[in-house]
Amino acid sequence: MKVTSLSSGSSGNCYLVQHDGTNVLIDSGLTATATERHLRSCGVAIQEISAIFLTHDHSDHLRSAGTLSRKWGIPVIANEKTLKASRYRWDKEVRVEALKQAQKSGVLTEPRGFYNTEVLPVGGVKSLGGLEVSSVPVSHDAADTVCYTFRGGGQQGIILTDLGCATEPIFEPLYHSDLIVLEANHDLQKLFKSNRPQFLKSRIASDHGHLSNEQSAKILCRVIEWSGLNHTVWLAHLSEENNDPKNAVKYMNMCLENHDIKNFMLKVALRDKPSLTWDAQDSLFQAQMLFDF
Ligand SMILES: [Zn+2]
Ligand SMILES: [Zn+2]
Protein backbone atom coordinates (compact mmCIF):
# COMPACT_ATOMS: atom_id res chain seq x y z
CA MET A 1 0.00 0.00 0.00
CA LYS A 2 1.16 3.50 -0.82
CA VAL A 3 -0.27 6.81 0.45
CA THR A 4 0.54 10.29 -0.91
CA SER A 5 -0.56 13.63 0.46
CA LEU A 6 -1.57 15.69 -2.60
CA SER A 7 -2.60 18.68 -0.51
CA SER A 8 -3.44 19.35 3.12
CA GLY A 9 -5.04 22.39 4.76
CA SER A 10 -8.00 24.74 4.48
CA SER A 11 -7.23 25.48 0.81
CA GLY A 12 -7.82 21.85 -0.13
CA ASN A 13 -7.39 18.32 1.18
CA CYS A 14 -6.71 15.31 -1.00
CA TYR A 15 -4.86 12.03 -0.40
CA LEU A 16 -4.08 9.28 -2.87
CA VAL A 17 -4.23 5.71 -1.53
CA GLN A 18 -2.89 2.95 -3.78
CA HIS A 19 -2.86 -0.79 -3.31
CA ASP A 20 -2.41 -3.62 -5.75
CA GLY A 21 -3.62 -1.69 -8.81
CA THR A 22 -6.47 0.10 -7.01
CA ASN A 23 -6.22 3.90 -6.65
CA VAL A 24 -8.64 5.90 -4.50
CA LEU A 25 -8.79 9.48 -3.28
CA ILE A 26 -9.67 10.37 0.27
CA ASP A 27 -11.38 13.76 -0.17
CA SER A 28 -11.17 15.92 -3.28
CA GLY A 29 -10.82 19.46 -2.01
CA LEU A 30 -8.62 20.89 -4.78
CA THR A 31 -9.92 22.08 -8.15
CA ALA A 32 -10.37 19.37 -10.77
CA THR A 33 -7.43 20.79 -12.77
CA ALA A 34 -5.06 20.76 -9.78
CA THR A 35 -6.17 17.26 -8.76
CA GLU A 36 -5.51 15.88 -12.25
CA ARG A 37 -2.14 17.68 -12.39
CA HIS A 38 -0.99 16.41 -8.98
CA LEU A 39 -2.12 12.88 -9.83
CA ARG A 40 -0.14 13.00 -13.09
CA SER A 41 2.96 14.00 -11.09
CA CYS A 42 2.44 10.76 -9.11
CA GLY A 43 2.15 8.76 -12.36
CA VAL A 44 -1.62 8.25 -12.02
CA ALA A 45 -4.20 9.33 -14.62
CA ILE A 46 -7.58 10.53 -13.35
CA GLN A 47 -9.22 7.65 -15.29
CA GLU A 48 -7.34 5.24 -12.99
CA ILE A 49 -9.13 6.52 -9.86
CA SER A 50 -11.65 3.88 -8.70
CA ALA A 51 -13.45 6.01 -6.09
CA ILE A 52 -13.43 9.22 -4.10
CA PHE A 53 -14.22 8.81 -0.39
CA LEU A 54 -15.58 12.00 1.20
CA THR A 55 -15.04 12.64 4.91
CA HIS A 56 -17.54 15.53 5.06
CA ASP A 57 -19.23 18.27 3.09
CA HIS A 58 -16.91 21.24 3.74
CA SER A 59 -15.59 22.75 0.52
CA ASP A 60 -11.91 22.14 1.32
CA HIS A 61 -12.78 18.40 1.13
CA LEU A 62 -15.35 18.12 -1.65
CA ARG A 63 -14.52 20.98 -4.07
CA SER A 64 -13.93 18.92 -7.24
CA ALA A 65 -15.60 15.62 -6.28
CA GLY A 66 -18.82 16.48 -8.14
CA THR A 67 -17.03 17.69 -11.26
CA LEU A 68 -14.76 14.64 -11.39
CA SER A 69 -17.70 12.32 -10.85
CA ARG A 70 -19.76 13.93 -13.65
CA LYS A 71 -16.83 14.16 -16.04
CA TRP A 72 -15.23 10.77 -15.49
CA GLY A 73 -17.98 8.72 -13.83
CA ILE A 74 -15.89 8.24 -10.69
CA PRO A 75 -18.04 6.96 -7.79
CA VAL A 76 -18.15 9.38 -4.84
CA ILE A 77 -18.56 7.33 -1.67
CA ALA A 78 -19.82 8.82 1.62
CA ASN A 79 -22.60 8.48 4.14
CA GLU A 80 -26.14 9.58 3.23
CA LYS A 81 -26.13 12.96 4.99
CA THR A 82 -22.73 13.93 3.55
CA LEU A 83 -23.81 13.00 0.02
CA LYS A 84 -27.05 14.96 0.35
CA ALA A 85 -25.24 18.08 1.59
CA SER A 86 -22.51 17.67 -1.05
CA ARG A 87 -25.03 17.39 -3.90
CA TYR A 88 -26.66 20.57 -2.75
CA ARG A 89 -23.31 22.40 -3.02
CA TRP A 90 -22.37 20.82 -6.37
CA ASP A 91 -25.79 21.61 -7.91
CA LYS A 92 -25.49 25.22 -6.80
CA GLU A 93 -22.02 25.52 -8.39
CA VAL A 94 -23.28 23.93 -11.63
CA ARG A 95 -26.21 26.40 -11.81
CA VAL A 96 -23.88 29.38 -11.22
CA GLU A 97 -21.48 28.12 -13.90
CA ALA A 98 -24.33 27.55 -16.39
CA LEU A 99 -25.60 31.10 -15.81
CA LYS A 100 -22.10 32.53 -16.33
CA GLN A 101 -21.80 30.68 -19.63
CA ALA A 102 -25.31 31.82 -20.65
CA GLN A 103 -24.33 35.44 -20.08
CA LYS A 104 -21.47 34.98 -22.54
CA SER A 105 -23.24 32.85 -25.16
CA GLY A 106 -26.87 33.89 -24.70
CA VAL A 107 -27.89 30.23 -24.44
CA LEU A 108 -28.69 28.43 -21.18
CA THR A 109 -27.60 24.81 -21.53
CA GLU A 110 -28.30 21.89 -19.21
CA PRO A 111 -25.12 20.52 -17.61
CA ARG A 112 -24.04 17.18 -19.03
CA GLY A 113 -23.29 13.99 -17.11
CA PHE A 114 -24.55 12.82 -13.73
CA TYR A 115 -23.09 12.21 -10.32
CA ASN A 116 -22.07 8.66 -9.58
CA THR A 117 -22.56 8.28 -5.84
CA GLU A 118 -22.59 5.39 -3.41
CA VAL A 119 -23.69 5.34 0.21
CA LEU A 120 -21.28 3.97 2.80
CA PRO A 121 -23.00 4.13 6.21
CA VAL A 122 -21.02 5.50 9.16
CA GLY A 123 -18.97 2.59 10.51
CA GLY A 124 -19.31 0.72 7.19
CA VAL A 125 -16.56 -0.99 5.19
CA LYS A 126 -16.03 -0.85 1.42
CA SER A 127 -13.73 -3.25 -0.42
CA LEU A 128 -12.14 -2.31 -3.75
CA GLY A 129 -9.77 -4.96 -5.05
CA GLY A 130 -7.56 -5.82 -2.09
CA LEU A 131 -8.12 -2.44 -0.44
CA GLU A 132 -10.57 -2.17 2.44
CA VAL A 133 -11.77 1.29 3.49
CA SER A 134 -13.68 1.79 6.77
CA SER A 135 -15.49 4.86 8.04
CA VAL A 136 -15.21 5.99 11.66
CA PRO A 137 -17.36 8.78 13.20
CA VAL A 138 -15.64 11.96 14.42
CA SER A 139 -16.78 15.16 16.12
CA HIS A 140 -16.88 17.99 13.54
CA ASP A 141 -19.50 20.53 12.47
CA ALA A 142 -20.56 19.18 9.07
CA ALA A 143 -23.59 17.02 8.15
CA ASP A 144 -22.11 13.73 9.40
CA THR A 145 -18.29 13.78 9.50
CA VAL A 146 -16.20 10.61 9.44
CA CYS A 147 -12.55 9.73 9.03
CA TYR A 148 -11.30 6.72 7.08
CA THR A 149 -8.95 3.85 7.73
CA PHE A 150 -7.63 1.83 4.79
CA ARG A 151 -6.18 -1.65 4.90
CA GLY A 152 -4.24 -3.62 2.32
CA GLY A 153 -1.53 -6.28 2.33
CA GLY A 154 -1.63 -6.51 6.14
CA GLN A 155 -0.91 -2.79 6.67
CA GLN A 156 -3.26 -0.03 7.79
CA GLY A 157 -3.40 3.74 7.53
CA ILE A 158 -5.75 6.35 8.96
CA ILE A 159 -6.43 9.95 7.91
CA LEU A 160 -7.78 11.82 10.92
CA THR A 161 -8.31 15.51 10.21
CA ASP A 162 -11.25 17.85 10.87
CA LEU A 163 -12.30 16.93 14.39
CA GLY A 164 -12.79 19.19 17.38
CA CYS A 165 -11.95 16.66 20.08
CA ALA A 166 -10.84 13.09 20.59
CA THR A 167 -13.75 10.67 20.96
CA GLU A 168 -13.36 7.03 21.97
CA PRO A 169 -14.07 5.40 18.53
CA ILE A 170 -10.90 6.93 17.00
CA PHE A 171 -8.44 5.20 19.32
CA GLU A 172 -8.78 1.54 18.35
CA PRO A 173 -8.15 2.31 14.64
CA LEU A 174 -5.24 4.59 15.63
CA TYR A 175 -3.55 1.88 17.71
CA HIS A 176 -3.57 -0.43 14.69
CA SER A 177 -2.46 2.05 12.04
CA ASP A 178 1.04 1.92 10.59
CA LEU A 179 0.50 5.35 9.00
CA ILE A 180 -1.28 8.03 11.03
CA VAL A 181 -2.20 11.32 9.35
CA LEU A 182 -3.24 13.49 12.28
CA GLU A 183 -4.65 17.01 12.33
CA ALA A 184 -2.55 19.66 14.14
CA ASN A 185 -4.59 22.66 13.07
CA HIS A 186 -3.58 25.51 15.32
CA ASP A 187 -1.55 26.86 18.15
CA LEU A 188 -4.24 27.93 20.63
CA GLN A 189 -2.38 31.09 21.71
CA LYS A 190 -1.90 32.17 18.11
CA LEU A 191 -5.56 31.47 17.33
CA PHE A 192 -6.83 33.66 20.15
CA LYS A 193 -4.40 36.48 19.35
CA SER A 194 -5.34 36.42 15.66
CA ASN A 195 -7.59 38.99 13.98
CA ARG A 196 -10.25 36.48 13.05
CA PRO A 197 -13.83 37.21 14.20
CA GLN A 198 -14.59 35.91 17.69
CA PHE A 199 -17.32 33.51 16.49
CA LEU A 200 -14.83 31.87 14.12
CA LYS A 201 -12.17 31.48 16.83
CA SER A 202 -14.78 29.91 19.14
CA ARG A 203 -15.93 27.57 16.37
CA ILE A 204 -12.36 26.41 15.57
CA ALA A 205 -11.52 25.83 19.24
CA SER A 206 -14.83 24.08 20.03
CA ASP A 207 -15.37 20.32 20.31
CA HIS A 208 -16.80 20.42 16.77
CA GLY A 209 -13.99 22.49 15.21
CA HIS A 210 -10.34 21.55 14.74
CA LEU A 211 -7.59 19.98 16.85
CA SER A 212 -4.97 22.24 18.41
CA ASN A 213 -1.33 21.14 18.62
CA GLU A 214 -1.94 20.38 22.29
CA GLN A 215 -4.95 18.13 21.62
CA SER A 216 -3.07 16.29 18.85
CA ALA A 217 -0.08 15.77 21.14
CA LYS A 218 -2.34 14.23 23.81
CA ILE A 219 -3.86 11.86 21.24
CA LEU A 220 -0.43 10.86 19.98
CA CYS A 221 0.97 10.28 23.48
CA ARG A 222 -1.94 7.96 24.29
CA VAL A 223 -1.55 6.08 21.00
CA ILE A 224 2.20 5.56 21.47
CA GLU A 225 1.85 4.62 25.14
CA TRP A 226 -0.78 2.00 24.25
CA SER A 227 0.58 0.62 21.03
CA GLY A 228 4.29 1.47 20.82
CA LEU A 229 6.53 3.57 18.61
CA ASN A 230 6.00 1.74 15.36
CA HIS A 231 3.84 4.34 13.61
CA THR A 232 4.68 6.79 10.85
CA VAL A 233 3.03 10.09 11.78
CA TRP A 234 2.25 13.04 9.51
CA LEU A 235 0.84 16.23 10.97
CA ALA A 236 -1.85 17.63 8.69
CA HIS A 237 -4.45 20.35 8.04
CA LEU A 238 -2.19 23.02 9.63
CA SER A 239 -3.68 26.51 9.67
CA GLU A 240 -1.67 28.93 7.53
CA GLU A 241 -2.36 31.81 9.89
CA ASN A 242 -2.39 30.13 13.29
CA ASN A 243 0.28 27.46 13.07
CA ASP A 244 3.50 26.68 11.28
CA PRO A 245 5.20 23.38 10.52
CA LYS A 246 8.37 24.05 12.55
CA ASN A 247 6.56 25.14 15.70
CA ALA A 248 4.00 22.36 15.45
CA VAL A 249 6.74 19.70 15.29
CA LYS A 250 8.71 21.40 18.08
CA TYR A 251 5.67 21.62 20.34
CA MET A 252 4.58 18.04 19.67
CA ASN A 253 8.10 16.72 20.33
CA MET A 254 8.22 18.64 23.61
CA CYS A 255 4.92 17.04 24.69
CA LEU A 256 6.13 13.59 23.64
CA GLU A 257 9.40 14.06 25.55
CA ASN A 258 7.38 14.95 28.67
CA HIS A 259 5.95 11.44 28.32
CA ASP A 260 9.44 9.96 27.89
CA ILE A 261 8.92 9.46 24.16
CA LYS A 262 12.17 10.69 22.63
CA ASN A 263 13.39 11.26 19.04
CA PHE A 264 10.02 10.46 17.48
CA MET A 265 10.01 11.36 13.79
CA LEU A 266 7.18 13.69 12.78
CA LYS A 267 6.59 14.97 9.26
CA VAL A 268 4.22 17.69 8.07
CA ALA A 269 1.89 17.41 5.06
CA LEU A 270 2.04 20.69 3.13
CA ARG A 271 -0.62 22.90 1.56
CA ASP A 272 -1.47 22.98 -2.18
CA LYS A 273 1.11 20.47 -3.38
CA PRO A 274 2.11 16.81 -3.13
CA SER A 275 4.47 16.59 -0.18
CA LEU A 276 4.75 13.19 1.51
CA THR A 277 4.56 9.57 0.39
CA TRP A 278 4.40 6.51 2.62
CA ASP A 279 5.17 3.15 1.10
CA ALA A 280 4.20 0.10 3.15
CA GLN A 281 7.00 -1.89 1.52
CA ASP A 282 9.59 0.50 2.96
CA SER A 283 8.12 0.36 6.44
CA LEU A 284 7.92 -3.44 6.30
CA PHE A 285 11.59 -3.46 5.24
CA GLN A 286 12.50 -1.14 8.14
CA ALA A 287 10.59 -3.34 10.60
CA GLN A 288 12.42 -6.37 9.21
CA MET A 289 15.78 -4.57 9.67
CA LEU A 290 14.92 -3.76 13.29
CA PHE A 291 13.93 -7.37 13.83
CA ASP A 292 17.14 -8.65 12.26
CA PHE A 293 19.36 -6.56 14.47
ZN1 LIG B 1 -10.97 20.81 6.43
ZN1 LIG C 1 -14.21 20.57 7.93
For residue 68, count other CB atoms closer than 10 A to its CB. 22
pLDDT of residue 293: 40
**3-state per-residue secondary structure call for the chain:** CEEEEEECCCCCCEEEEEECCEEEEECCCCCHHHHHHHHHHCCCCHHHEEEEECCCCCHHHHCCHHHHHHHHCCCEEECHHHHHHHHHHHHHHHHHHHHHHHHHHCCCCCCCCCCCEEECCCCCEEEECCEEEEEEECCCCCCCCEEEEEEECCEEEEEECCCCCCCHHHHHHHHCCCEEEEECCECHHHHHHCCCCHHHHHHHHCCCCCCEHHHHHHHHHHHHHHHCCCCEEEEECCCCCCCCHHHHHHHHHHHHHHCCCCCCCEEECCCCCCCEEEEHHHHHHHHHHHHHC
pLDDT of residue 256: 94
Say what the pTM is.
0.93
Angle at 218 between CA 270 and CA 188, to 5 degrees: 60
pLDDT of residue 100: 87
For residue 222, report the distance from its CA to the centre of ligand 1, in Å.
24
pLDDT of residue 72: 94
Instruction: Work out how many domains the chain is built from and give that number.
Output: 1
Q: Which ligand is nearest to the CA of 56?
A: 2
pLDDT of residue 95: 83
pLDDT of residue 113: 65
Query: What is the domain extent for residue 130?
Result: 2-292
For residue 57, report the distance from its CA to the centre of ligand 1, in Å.
9
For residue 51, report the distance from its CA to the centre of ligand 1, in Å.
20
For residue 61, report the distance from its CA to the centre of ligand 2, in Å.
7
pLDDT of residue 217: 96
pLDDT of residue 108: 78
For residue 133, report the distance from its CA to the centre of ligand 2, in Å.
20
10-residue mean pLDDT profile of the chain (293 residues): values are 96 97 97 97 97 97 94 96 94 84 82 84 97 98 98 97 97 98 97 95 97 97 94 97 95 94 93 93 60 45
pLDDT of residue 111: 65
- The CA distance from 198 to 192, in Å, is 8
CATH number of the domain that residue 141 is part of:
3.60.15.10
pLDDT of residue 96: 84
Q: Which ligand is nearest to the CA of 145?
A: 2
Q: Which ligand is nearest to the CA of 10?
A: 1
